[in-house]
Amino acid sequence: MVALPASYFTANIYLDFFPDRPESAVGIVLGAGIPGVTLSWAVAGIHALKIAGSNPVTALRYE
């Protein structure tokens, strides 16, 4: 949640160096940020469900 606004402001600062720049980078930031956040939540959720469904005795057997 911190990375999306930070990347937007960083992109604006970077694009200030160019004379011909696009007016708004909101679409680009959202287009890259939303799938990235969704993918990371999906991977973490799938891993959490996999771990929650496992037997703790088998995990402790290898400790």
Distance CA 26, CA 9 (A): 10
16-57 pLDDT, tens per residue? Answer: 888 887 776 677 778 888 898 899 999 999 999 998 988 888
| Phi and psi angles of residue 26, each rounded to the nearest 5 degrees, phi first | -65, -45
State residue 38's pLDDT score: 94
Helix, strand, or coil (residue 25): coil
3-14 pLDDT, tens per residue? Answer: 778 878 888 888
Secondary structure tally for the chain: helices H, strands E? 3, 0
pTM: 0.56
Domain ranges of the chain: 34-63
Distance CA 40, CA 46 (A): 10
State residue 63's pLDDT score: 66
Which position has the token pair 């993918």?
A: 39
